[in-house]
Amino acid sequence: MLNLRGVEIRKGALDGPAQARLIEALRPVLKAAPLFTPTMPNGKPLSVRMTSAGSLGWVTDKGGYRYQPTHPKGMAWPAIPPEVLDLWHGVTGQDRAPDCCLINYYGEGARMGLHQDRDEADLTWPVVSLSLGDDALFRIGNTSRGGKTESVWLNSGDVVVMGGPARLIYHGIDRIRFGSSRLLPKGGRLNLTLRVA
Ligand code: AKG
């Protein structure tokens, strides 16, 4: 396990068969709650596409960043698959389930700027995040804006845990190596981010 500025990076936490089982489990979720292109509050589209599973999903649009119980098309979010919940319970050691499994899809050229995860009411719970598919360059900053950053490549099956003093650390994805993994039939990267909202 790597520890960068309090962020735990569990390299290879999920082996190939476990990753393939998760992709299968996500198929009906993505069918029930299709990926959409979110926009920043200023109207600019994000390069990642996203959707959610759970009782709450995270969305951003001209109304701001928030959790809400429905997909932008109006339907309730699908349930978080048991395989994903197992990962959360294994990492946190707690019975409480996450409210939200945010699903980010990075196609060729997609990235995510440095940001904090701070839309949750209870910041005592960690954020647990899983990489599936193409490699991604993960950048970690500080708990306030600015300052030096450090980067590490995340590979398929790696789990990142941001909790305790690192719960509000700035982080982002600079780029992916499109086509570096064969896990997803069309290439790209899926990131699952589990949070108590
Ligand atoms: C987020 O959804 O807040 C992320 O930072 C995703 C990070 C990742 O894709 O690994």
User: Domain holding 128: CATH number?
Assistant: 2.60.120.590
Nearest C-alpha to atom 4 of ligand 1 is from which residue? 172
What is the per-residue pLDDT for 162?
98
What is the per-residue pLDDT for 90?
98
Give the number of other Cβ atoms within 10 Å of residue 10's Cβ.
Answer: 16
What is the per-residue pLDDT for 148?
98
What confidence tier does 28 reach under pLDDT thresholds 50, 70, 90? very high
ipTM field: 0.99
The count of domains in the chain is 1
What confidence tier does 26 reach under pLDDT thresholds 50, 70, 90? very high
Q: List pocket residues of ligand 1, CB cut-off 6 Å.
A: 102, 104, 112, 117, 129, 131, 136, 138, 171, 173, 191, 193
Cβ neighbours of residue 92 closer than 8 Å, sequence gap 6 or more: 125, 126, 128
Q: Which residue has the tokens 């991604």?
A: 136
Radius of gyration of the chain from its Cα atoms, rounded to whole angstroms: 15
Q: Which residue has the tokens 């990962």?
A: 87
Mean pLDDT of 77-89: 98
The answer to whether residues 70 and 77 touch, using CB atoms and an 8 Å cutoff, is yes
* Structural domain span for residue 12: 2-195
What is the per-residue pLDDT for 165?
97
Give the SS3 label for residue 119.
Answer: coil
Cα distance between residue 188 and residue 177, in whole Å: 8
pLDDT digits (tens, 9 = 90+) for 122-154: 999 999 999 999 999 999 999 999 999 999 999
What confidence tier does 51 reach under pLDDT thresholds 50, 70, 90? very high
* CA 165 distance to own-chain centroid: 19
Mean pLDDT of 85-104: 98
Nearest C-alpha to atom 2 of ligand 1 is from which residue? 193
Question: Of ligand 1's atoms, which has the minimum distance to the CA of residue 191?
Answer: 9
Residues in the chain: 197
Nearest C-alpha to atom 3 of ligand 1 is from which residue? 117
At residue 114, what is the residue type? L
Question: Of ligand 1's atoms, which has the minimum distance to the CA of residue 172?
Answer: 5
